[in-house]
Amino acid sequence: MKKVLYLALGIAAGVVAIRLIQQTPRGREIVDDVELRIGEFAQAVRDGYVSRETELRGD
């Protein structure tokens, strides 16, 4: 139960930190850049998954 509480507190602290960072123009640029990189990484993972799945099926 303690671990769940720490997880929730960590998530809440992260949300608060992001909101504070986004209040400055430079902070907003940083957050946008991080979001872009996360999106690119997620797309690369999806592409790799689809490619490997196609290989395994023999299509």
8 Å CB contact between 36 and 27? no
Question: What is the reported pLDDT for 59?
Answer: 66
Report which of 7, 24, 26 is spatially closest to residue 15, judged by C-alpha positions. Answer: 7
pLDDT digit string, tens, across residues 14-57: 999 999 999 999 999 999 999 999 999 999 999 999 999 999 99
Q: Which residue has the tokens 């979001």?
A: 35
pTM of the entire predicted model = 0.66
